[in-house]
């Protein structure tokens, strides 16, 4: 796992829930005292363990924690990596360009890191109004993407709807989202925001072959 994800999870948890809560989360995850830095690589399990422990603390579950983190992290990422984000973009352009700037941000210094396969762009005939995002990664962090759409809307003061048309947690090979500016005449289907992410949280990490006690 790319260190930027873990270091921002650490920042998010400390800022949102306080330093003591973060210590408790790390302890609950069996990862006491681990310091996360952006340019290192960490086992993927750290994310799941931390999310599980944090989700238990909040009472909302691991997947909701990742949605909340995804929502929060857009602003710090845009500000940290601002050379990759065009000043003229709005929320929809940021989303349509996710594949472009994630590819540009890829670091080659991480030895075993498997980058996510992300494709994004405009839905034909709806340029500027409706975007698609296909996400394929062994890490299955579509909850972070779901939160990040809301984070993009918050950051730019925009109103968007989105739906996850296919999801790995429902047996699909990858996650496929469609995202539309509110007011466009495109029907995205039911909104898969905070509510249904909570609903989906009955899918546990164990179903993905991971148990929090694994090393
Ligand atoms: C709506 C906006 C965004 C979405 C949907 C999104 C989605 C994601 C997801 C799902 C991951 C985890 C990938 C994995 O490891 O499987 C990720 C990682 C990452 N994101 Fe984003 N992200 C968004 C915005 C941003 C922004 C604005 C930046 C910085 C300018 C950024 C930079 C990164 C970096 C550096 C990583 C880790 C490295 C990598 O995945 O290659 N993201 N993003």
Q: How far apart are CA 96 and CA 117, in angstroms?
A: 15
Residue 128 Cβ < 6 Å to ligand 1: no
The answer, yes or no, to whether any atom of ligand 1 lies below 6 A from the CB of 132, is no
Is the CB of residue 96 below 6 angstroms from any atom belonging to ligand 1?
Answer: no
CB 3 within 8 A of CB 40: yes
pTM: 0.88
Q: How confident is the model over 50-101, as pLDDT tens digits? A: 999 999 999 999 999 999 999 999 999 999 999 999 999 999 999 999 999 9
In the chain, where are the structural domains located?
3-203
Cα 69 to Cα 200: distance, rounded to the nearest angstrom: 16
Residue whose CA lies nearest to ligand 1 atom number 3:
148
> For the segment 6-36, what is each residue's pLDDT rounded down to a tens digit?
999 999 999 999 999 999 999 999 999 999 9
The predicted pLDDT at position 189 comes to 64
Strand order in the sheet with 160-166: 117-122, 130-136, 175-181, 160-166
Q: What is the mean pLDDT of residues 143-170?
A: 92
State pLDDT tens for residues 157-197: 999 988 888 888 888 889 999 999 988 888 776 444 433 33
Can you identify the CATH homologous superfamily of domain 3-203?
Answer: H-NOX domain (3.90.1520.10)
Kindly give the distance from the C-alpha atom of residue 179 to the centroid of ligand 1, in angstroms, as a whole number: 16
Tell me, in angstroms, the distance from the centre of ligand 1 to residue 8's CA.
Answer: 11
């Amino acid at each position: 796992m790319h260190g930027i994800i873990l270091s921002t999870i650490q920042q998010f948890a400390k800022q949102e829930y306080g330093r003591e809560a973060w210590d408790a989360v790390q302890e609950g995850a069996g990862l006491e005292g681990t310091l996360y830095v952006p340019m290192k690589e960490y086992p993927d399990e750290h994310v799941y363990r931390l999310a599980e422990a944090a989700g238990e603390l909040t009472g909302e579950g691991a997947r909701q924690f990742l949605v909340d983190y995804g929502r929060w992290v857009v602003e710090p990422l845009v500000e940290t990596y601002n050379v990759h984000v065009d000043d003229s973009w709005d929320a929809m352009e940021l989303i349509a360009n996710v594949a472009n700037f994630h590819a540009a941000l890829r670091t080659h210094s991480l030895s075993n890191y498997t980058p996510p396969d992300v494709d994004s762009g405009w839905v034909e005939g709806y340029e500027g109004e409706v975007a698609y995002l296909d996400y394929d990664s062994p890490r299955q962090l579509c909850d972070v993407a779901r939160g990040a759409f809301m984070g993009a809307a918050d950051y730019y003061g925009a109103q968007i709807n989105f739906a996850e048309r296919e999801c790995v947690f429902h047996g699909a090979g990858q996650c496929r989202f469609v995202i539309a500016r509110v007011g466009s005449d495109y029907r995205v289907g039911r909104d898969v925001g905070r509510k249904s992410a909570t609903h989906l949280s009955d899918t546990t990490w164990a179903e993905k072959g991971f148990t929090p006690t694994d090393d």
